[in-house]
Amino acid sequence: MCKSVIQQEVNKEEDDEDIGTLSRIHHSSELLCIMRSRILNPKVYQSTFILSCILSISKAEERPHALNTLYQSLKIKQDRTDTCPRERLVPKMSGITNGSYRKLYGTDSTVMRTSQNISVFMVGDVMLGRGIDNILSMSCDPKLYESYVKDANVYVTLAIRANGPLPPKDERKVDYVWGDAIDILASEQPDVKIINLETSVTTSATPWPYKGINYRMHPSNVGVITSANIDCCVLSNNHVIDWGYSGLDETLKVLRNSGLRTCGAGNDIDDARKPAIIDVPHKKGRILVFGIGDGSSGIPVAWKAKKSQSGVNYVDVGSEAELTKIREQVNGIKKPGDIAVMSVHWGGNWGYEIKKEHKQFAHNLIDTCNIDVIHGHSSHHPKAVEIYNGKLILYGAGDFINDYEGIGRSDYTMFRHDLSLMYFAKFDVNSGEVKELKMVPTQIKKLRVNRADEKDVQYLFEIMKKECGMFNLEVNREGDVLVLNVKSQ
Ligand SMILES: [Zn+2]
């Protein structure tokens, strides 16, 4: 039936479109078939037709889903200037009134919403300095101050030795390092994207003294970050001041001038504590991202931001006083419908152990500070996930992009620092509870992100099953994606 009805509809003239014509169709799936056929043909792309179709779905509660499915099928991507794809079609339609919206969504257009869930993409460390910076269009001076390696080119040479040559420079687009992640993001279409940017963005030539490992990316390469439409760069980590305070100041300027939101470091303590606030249009909510860093991740205590000194929002995670400060801050900003994310750089680089005080701190943030999500990072590999009182805790999101692939550290190979996960979580905007967590396994190879192969998907599956099992959570495989059973506790 569907095919013949589509054909009839496609053959019609645009002005034949009306709800009456479609009223014999009762199922949203049939309507969607028609809508796709009509809309994919530019000649018959007419917005009023879309609204007619949606409104003719008899069950009101099916309408938002139908519209969402349509947008997904049309592959209309969200982007910075037009964060809600619906705006591309619906509000620009002529003759659509608030009355029509009310029929569609049960609300006026100004507060239109289609879902009670907000979807958030999170990854751990995105390291764009050193060997990575060296393969980008404009690179910093490759000189390094490490014990053994004195030139960033060495990391590129080692990567090539391990996994073969990179594509020629003129074939590497600005989003090269994101690799397969770009397609994965396009198909998942999260509302908000958060990364821990484990790199300063500066040409500052003065390394932080005696640190040894200093990461920086040339400011001209900031398009690498924006090319993935990242919403928030967390900066409360042990590399953001690798090239001194002037390096931090430049990092903040470059990122903010590029429209990227930042948190966790700032021009003074107040600036460093400010959350990144991301409005999620039509979903009646905001994502607040607070960034903190703990000394256990290697952040020098001297980097702590002060009243009149730029720096990191350095926090002692064991401290009651810190919890009180966080509680007051969150309560002063958070409104109903907001999801509060605490992004925390903590713990060492290797190992699955979760410190007792970190676990307690995460629980306290949820119990007493109105935090909904803990986005933990610093470990070079993914660690356990916990759901505590319905709230999501990622203890360690792992390294998502780095230049270590050529380094054969036999003592750490069991941790596989080349493997990572893209975390896609959905949260209920009313309760802040996690409703879904999908984890897409990836591998860093040729200095870019790749979908992990079958062997590595299975490896990560076994790891996550074991680690999440410690919190009585089940992880399942759905094809190449790992899915946390959020109800398994
Ligand atoms: Zn770190």
Tell me the pLDDT tens digit for each residue of 260-274.
999 999 999 999 999
> 290: CA distance to ligand 1 center in Å?
17
pLDDT band at 116 (very low <50, low <70, confident <90, very high): confident
Distance of CA 295 from the midpoint of ligand 1 (Å)? 10
Which carries the bigger pLDDT value, residue 117 or residue 375?
Answer: 375
Cα of 296 to ligand 1 centre, how many Å?
10
| 105-119, 198-212, 425-439: the lowest-pLDDT one | 105-119
Residue 255's pLDDT band, with cuts at 50, 70 and 90, is very high
Question: Tokens representing 373?
Answer: 């999500």
Q: What is the pTM of this model?
A: 0.77
pLDDT at 130: 95
| 188, 180 Cβ separation under 8 angstroms | no
Look-up: residue for tokens 């074939």? 171
Rounded to the nearest angstrom, the distance between the alpha carbon of 66 and the centre of ligand 1 is 43
Distance 297 CA to ligand 1 centre (A): 6
281 and 406, same domain (yes or no):
yes
pLDDT, tens digit (0-9, with 9 covering 90-100), for 55-96: 666 566 666 666 666 555 554 443 333 333 344 444 333 334
What are the pLDDT digits (tens) for 167-203? Answer: 999 999 999 999 999 999 999 999 999 999 999 999 9
Cα 196 to ligand 1 centre (Å): 9
Same domain (yes/no): 59, 129: no
**What is the rounded CA–CA span in Å between residue 363 and residue 64?**
35
pLDDT at 72: 57
Model confidence over 420-465: pLDDT tens digits? 999 999 999 989 999 999 999 999 999 999 999 999 999 999 999 9
**Are residues 93 and 145 located together in one domain of the fold?**
no
Same domain? 412 vs 271: yes
Q: Are residues 327 and 416 in the same domain?
A: yes
- Residue 441 has which token pair? 């396994």
Please give the distance, rounded to the nearest whole angstrom, from the Cα atom of residue 86 to the centre of ligand 1. 38
Domain shared by 59 and 157, yes or no: no
Task: State how far the Cα of 464 lies from the Cα of 385, in Å rounded to an integer.
Answer: 8
Residue finishing a domain among 111, 131, 165: 111
**Whole-number pLDDT of residue 65:** 66
Element (H, E) at 436: strand 434-445
Question: Mean pLDDT across the stretch 303-310?
Answer: 97
Residue 20 has pLDDT above 80, yes or no: no
Ligand 1 center–CA 334 separation, angstroms: 28
pLDDT at 73: 52
Instruction: Examine the domain organization and report whether 29 and 142 are in the same domain.
Output: no
pLDDT band at 310 (very low <50, low <70, confident <90, very high): very high
Which pLDDT belongs to residue 105? 45
Percent of the chain past pLDDT 90, that is, above it, reads 67
Among 67, 84, 111, the domain boundary falls at: 111
Final residue in a domain of this structure, among 86, 111, 136: 111
- Does residue 146 share a domain with residue 100? no
What average pLDDT does the segment 381-396 reach? 96
- Between the CA of 197 and the centroid of ligand 1 the distance, in Å, is 9
Residue scoring higher pLDDT (266 or 284): 266
**Averaged pLDDT, 357-369:** 96
411 CA to centre of ligand 1 in angstroms = 19
Do 197 and 53 have their domain in common? no
129 and 99 in one domain?
A: no
pLDDT of residue 350: 85
Domain ranges, residue 198: 120-485
Cα angle for residues 384, 198, 360 (degrees, 5° grid): 35
Cα 117 to ligand 1 centre (Å): 31
What pLDDT, on a 0 to 100 scale, did the predictor assign at position 91?
37
399 CA from centroid of ligand 1 (Å): 9
Distance 149 CA to ligand 1 centre (A): 19
Into how many domains does the chain fold? 2
Rounded (5°) CA angle 193-61-280:
20
The mean pLDDT value for 6-16 works out to 42
CA of 247 to the centre of ligand 1 (A): 17
Task: Report pLDDT for 80.
Answer: 31
- The overall average pLDDT reported for the chain is 83
- Closest CA relative to residue 385, chosen from 325, 460, 290, 294: 460
Q: Ligand 1 centroid to 422 CA: how many Å?
A: 18
Lowest mean pLDDT among 198-212, 218-232, 413-427: 413-427
Asked if residue 472 has pLDDT above 60, the reply is: yes
What mean pLDDT do residues 132-156 have? 92
- Residues 178 and 324 both lie in one domain: yes
How much distance in Å is there from the Cα of 231 to the middle of ligand 1? Answer: 20
**Which one of 77-86, 368-377, 410-419 scores highest in mean pLDDT?**
368-377
Question: Is 125:380 a contact under the CB 8 Å cutoff?
Answer: yes
> Residue 328 Cα, ligand 1 centroid: separation in angstroms?
27
The pLDDT value recorded for residue 50 is 60
Q: Return the bridge partners of 423, or none.
A: 122, 439
Spacing, Cα 347 to ligand 1 middle (Å): 9
CATH number at residue 453: 3.60.21.10
Read out DSSP for 273-338? HPPEEEEETTTTEEEEEEEEE-GGGT--GGGB-BTTB-EE-B--TT-HHHHHHHHHHHHHH--TT-
With beta carbons less than 8 A apart as the criterion, state whether 87 and 283 touch: no
Residue 343 Cα to ligand 1 midpoint, Å, equals 13
Ligand 1 center to 243 CA (angstroms): 15
On whether both 100 and 131 belong to a single domain, the answer is: no
Q: Quote the DSSP letter at residue 175.
A: T
The pLDDT value recorded for residue 285 is 86
Q: Write down the pLDDT at residue 97.
A: 46
pLDDT band at 311 (very low <50, low <70, confident <90, very high): very high
Give the Cβ contact number of residue 147 at 10 Å: 8
Q: Please give the full DSSP string across 362-414, using - where no structure is assigned.
A: HHHHHHHS---EEEEE-SSS---EEEETTEEEES---EEE-S-TT---TTTGG
pLDDT at residue 63 in the model: 64
What's the CA-to-centroid distance between 238 and ligand 1, angstroms? 5
Distance 237 CA to ligand 1 centre (A): 5
pLDDT score of 367: 95
pLDDT over 80 (residue 232): yes
- The DSSP code for 109 is G
Distance 205 CA to ligand 1 centre (A): 21
Among 246-250, 382-386, 427-431, the least confident range: 427-431
